[in-house]
Structure 1
């Protein structure tokens, strides 16, 4: 046996720090779908601290000097908020482009955990680069280091593990290439995407290494469109053809896939009505002949009436969240069957449905062809049109009541505010919201005219998302005006990103609805027999309860102090004028309006499962529990097979 080995192959290398390598790698990643190619990372958001200023901070500065535009850096004001901005940007770009986010170790890092959860729950890509403690442990315990008596390798960043789709910690430079490739694989996979976290110990960030030049070559990640398997398609077609009262539930997957035209063709050809989830709203325009609007707990009476009677439910790109299924009370036909079209295997098996694991656009195109010549009967089409028209009349009455200023003391209602914003906005403009009573009211009533015209974060329903998310949408869609709808409760959680909007010259119109408390939870509290306890922004009264006078909070002055223009409206005409002025402006404007929180939106005739105390001395709670028990009797988990049993010969 010879002891002579061939000489090692020569490989060109470049000496960079770990941080410099990360920045150079990210700048070279692209995605492609249907021939459209774009950078995967539009840039890097962040806030610098001792854990990342000399590592990633230095690398980003060097890139800005040496390669301007390669990976632009944007300074935010709150770590959670900049994750929201990145996630909103990714949603607006159909998950084909996102941002990285860098923070220091400690509270800077853990502030991002909420943003990570939001991204993963909504299945939206974002790359998180939190600094970490020293890999060498040369100076332990560090400032902000978590010391545990039972483990030496656990840091606060391990909190990211359960809310990330991929997590890694780079202890040595040699680990970086594989981690980067694994991270981008997850970010660009429509079925697996979410938050990706790569923890970078601060000493490792500054460590130099000889990297293969090939690591920094341009790389394109092709986002495919999985085709439906023929046998699965045939099973789905058989179930749909057997239906007399079918209903489509269109989720976010329809929008992300760019399947809205395919859904339009499918619905027109078959006559099947389409209800839409929060993420799927806009999959069809509100006035489409087969559109019956929002479905579920915050749905329209039209969609929910059809859901109750549906014998076949075709879920396309939906994860069947509890608001969509009205906590499993929406679909009441005892023999209802489900067909589930989704790229994610997790969602295809829900409700024991027929599984069609495929891209939404490709599946809809195939279903339309396979169902050629088949349609619902004229009666189902007529009922769809009648129910949709009835709901539209209800919305019109809420938007424009016979007596404007329908709230107490002539104040506007939230319904009227939504109606005026809807009237002033252009068809391609975007409404952004996330938490409080507004998302439900928008889901029911907003007349969406464009697939990208509705952006409500309702997987996590995170208070504080609105302003930050609106900035992300505006950055991703510079040719659209963005209307951020936010209540005072959510505004107070995270208004500081208005400073970022000013810094970056990003224009959003923030409609700040002041109702002096938590309108949504206040209404829910009342429904559940808890009498709006602890939901009002009030002084304490003589009994020590938060039911005294209204707090003297001036949110208009607060917004002005952050550098934006502010307009104050008192009634319908002044609100309309303010909205038009804000839309015509070239910088961010906050439009402040006070509303009456006790006037609800039209009822969906549906339910949401929030448990009520089984025993109580309060009569209000006892009555609410009786209602709860009646709804619980309707609730069920569909487990019957969606396929008809066959007879074996």
Structure 2
């Protein structure tokens, strides 16, 4: 049947099973929005307060479900406002399709009103992108975009559609979505099996690739059979249950002392679905010097990119681990298991329960939450403390910006996650600096009656930068002290949300209970000390096993 381009866009979204679409309309997308209005019983469009909020919401939807998140913006500034969210998804391998409008084809290249080369702008931060200049290929482009976004190593795909394409007609025939079948023809080298079986002190670094591949269960079988200590990167948190006896915590610049030190004690280091980020490796010349390093990844471009490894396997992580679990021995390594337990006890994270501080708050929030509740963060000190102290038990429950480090990510992601997971509680942990980046999305959350709980760890500062100024710049606090510039309770109430304050220890549980019992967006202003720093920390140029837990250790 003959449909116009706008109708084809909406019909293809229906084909792909899209239930939520996050966006902001404009002249270049008005035809698409007219068709969305007609199809509002099939696709719920969420009007965000800003296009960046739409991109982060699509990201949070995708991370919490494993499905493709979708966002839509008009041309020019609408399209460029998606860029930060697209880059965030790209760095963290999140499946997303971003659709943008553009000026009509005859107006392209003429600096027309609200014209921008969004295809060129997003070329480095997408798996693939398109400008559709022929309505006859529009449907196939959309179908291919969804397939690319979720296949292999997931990531964002952008489709730019000139306005006149949305009014031109073409033949449309409905098609079932193409299913991504994970390749099964991997070769597991006998030498690798031998290396794993012979290792006496094995360790695993599990990254976000484990979660994206749905491989957490296969990973834990692998951990139990090999008796490997297992640490998570920031993106891998939740791949390993927090309470597993061989779980050693997160790793890297603010990782646990246990994880960071064991890397230089193990004789076999298996990095699974992670890219050897600089924040994980530290000084690469001193990294895991006693170990044979093996890398498992779906993306061949990551092999030997940051750290040269001894062995590697390229393939879908779940398939690879499942195959390995069938051929490796069920090892008995009591000395190594006992040593891991000793290290966890000796070097575990400490919490001061006598004051209102972020680790203390996180422990109490967790005590009121279910293990299946979803936690989002912004970026900064609060993010690192959350990675250290919150007891995540399942994958896809911790949503945070890792690779790009996007302040302002958390609220949009929380909205996307809450729309997708109506029965689960969504908690956002943020700092006063990050919160100000995108707090306008409270309007969206209130409008849609999303009961998101927003805990602002308010230290009246840009805490992470201030920490570096404290440790390495002789306390020259340039533009990082914020002061008490917002009365958060009044601010929250002015937008239709609820507001609370936590000043003292005896208020913590009472306020959390009140906030959690409310069916409204709740903003909780947690007043914490400005001077608090995140430890452990790996100073610049140090190896991760040289992490410090006191400022006077710098330079030693």
TM-score (normalised: structure 2): 0.92
Q: Distance between the aligned counterparts of 1:593 and 1:463, measured in 2?
A: 19
Match of 1:104 in 2: 74
Match of 1:226 in 2: 183
| Matching of residue 271 in structure 1 with residue 227 in structure 2 | yes
| Matching of residue 49 in structure 1 with residue 10 in structure 2 | no
Match of 2:548 in 1: none
Shift of 1:138: 9.3
Q: Secondary structure at the match of 2:148?
A: helix
Q: Distance between the aligned counterparts of 1:535 and 1:552, measured in 2?
A: 14
Q: Distance between the aligned counterparts of 2:225 and 2:109, measured in 1?
A: 69
TM-score (normalised: structure 1): 0.79
Work out which of the residue numbers 140, 144, 158 in structure 2 matches 1:182. 144
Q: Distance between the aligned counterparts of 1:202 and 1:220, measured in 2?
A: 26
Q: Which runs of 5+ in 2 are unaligned?
A: 543-550
Relative to structure 1, the CA distance from residue 137 to residue 564 in structure 2 (aligned partners, 3 Å threshold; closer, same or farther) is same
Match of 1:237 in 2: 193
Relative to structure 1, the CA distance from residue 457 to residue 327 in structure 2 (aligned partners, 3 Å threshold; closer, same or farther) is farther
Work out which of the residue numbers 107, 110, 120 in structure 2 matches 1:158. 120
Shift of 1:227: 3.4
Q: Secondary structure at the match of 1:512?
A: strand
Q: What does the per-residue CA deviation read over 1:303-334, in whole Å, with 9 as the maximum and x for residues that have no partner?
A: 1111122222111111221222235367342x
Work out which of the residue numbers 420, 427, 443 in structure 1 matches 2:364. 420
Relative to structure 1, the CA distance from residue 348 to residue 552 in structure 2 (aligned partners, 3 Å threshold; closer, same or farther) is closer
Relative to structure 1, the CA distance from residue 609 to residue 93 in structure 2 (aligned partners, 3 Å threshold; closer, same or farther) is farther
Q: What does the per-residue CA deviation read over 1:20-60, in whole Å, with 9 as the maximum and x for residues that have no partner?
A: 1111112112xxxxxxxxx3x2322111122212x211121
Q: Distance between the aligned counterparts of 1:133 and 1:342, measured in 2?
A: 40
Q: Secondary structure at the match of 1:51?
A: helix
Matching of residues 122-271 of structure 1 within 5 Å = 122-137=92-107, 142-145=112-115, 155-191=117-153, 193-205=154-166, 207-213=167-173, 216-217=174-175, 219-227=176-184, 229-230=186-187, 232-271=188-227
| Matching of residue 505 in structure 1 with residue 449 in structure 2 | yes
Q: What does the per-residue CA deviation read over 1:457-485, in whole Å, with 9 as the maximum and x for residues that have no partner?
A: 21211010111111112222223211100
Is contact 1:42-1:99 (8 Å) kept?
Answer: no
The alignment yields a C-alpha RMSD, in angstroms, of 2.4
Relative to structure 1, the CA distance from residue 445 to residue 141 in structure 2 (aligned partners, 3 Å threshold; closer, same or farther) is closer
Q: Distance between the aligned counterparts of 2:108 and 2:457, measured in 1?
A: 52
Is contact 2:68-2:146 (8 Å) kept?
Answer: no
Match of 1:293 in 2: 249
Match of 2:533 in 1: 600
| Matching of residue 569 in structure 1 with residue 502 in structure 2 | yes
Shift of 1:157: 4.8
Q: What does the per-residue CA deviation read over 1:530-550, in whole Å, with 9 as the maximum and x for residues that have no partner?
A: 524324345xxxxxxxxxxx3
Q: Distance between the aligned counterparts of 2:530 and 2:376, measured in 1?
A: 20
Is contact 1:86-1:472 (8 Å) kept?
Answer: yes
Q: Secondary structure at the match of 2:446?
A: helix
| Matching of residue 357 in structure 1 with residue 314 in structure 2 | yes
Q: Secondary structure at the match of 2:141?
A: helix
Match of 2:13 in 1: 26
Shift of 1:187: 1.2
Q: Distance between the aligned counterparts of 1:279 and 1:20, measured in 2?
A: 37
Match of 2:523 in 1: 590
Relative to structure 1, the CA distance from residue 329 to residue 593 in structure 2 (aligned partners, 3 Å threshold; closer, same or farther) is farther
Q: Which runs of 5+ in 1 are unaligned?
A: 1-13, 30-38, 147-154, 406-411, 539-549, 611-623, 631-649
Q: What does the per-residue CA deviation read over 1:398-425, in whole Å, with 9 as the maximum and x for residues that have no partner?
A: 152xxx22xxxxxx22222222222222
Shift of 1:257: 2.4
Q: Which structure has the bigger radius of gyration?
A: 1
| Matching of residue 446 in structure 1 with residue 390 in structure 2 | yes
Q: Secondary structure at the match of 2:29?
A: coil
Relative to structure 1, the CA distance from residue 575 to residue 133 in structure 2 (aligned partners, 3 Å threshold; closer, same or farther) is same
Work out which of the residue numbers 440, 444, 456 in structure 1 matches 2:400. 456
Match of 1:16 in 2: 3
Q: Distance between the aligned counterparts of 2:541 and 2:375, measured in 1?
A: 27
Relative to structure 1, the CA distance from residue 268 to residue 139 in structure 2 (aligned partners, 3 Å threshold; closer, same or farther) is closer
| Matching of residue 88 in structure 1 with residue 65 in structure 2 | no
Shift of 1:199: 0.8
Q: Secondary structure at the match of 1:105?
A: coil
**Larger CA deviation: 126-135 vs 253-262:** 253-262
Match of 1:468 in 2: 412
Relative to structure 1, the CA distance from residue 228 to residue 420 in structure 2 (aligned partners, 3 Å threshold; closer, same or farther) is farther
Is contact 2:400-2:409 (8 Å) kept?
Answer: no
Relative to structure 1, the CA distance from residue 455 to residue 102 in structure 2 (aligned partners, 3 Å threshold; closer, same or farther) is closer
Q: Distance between the aligned counterparts of 1:249 and 1:330, measured in 2?
A: 17
Q: Distance between the aligned counterparts of 1:574 and 1:211, measured in 2?
A: 64
Q: What does the per-residue CA deviation read over 1:93-132, in whole Å, with 9 as the maximum and x for residues that have no partner?
A: 12xx133212121111111111111111111111111111
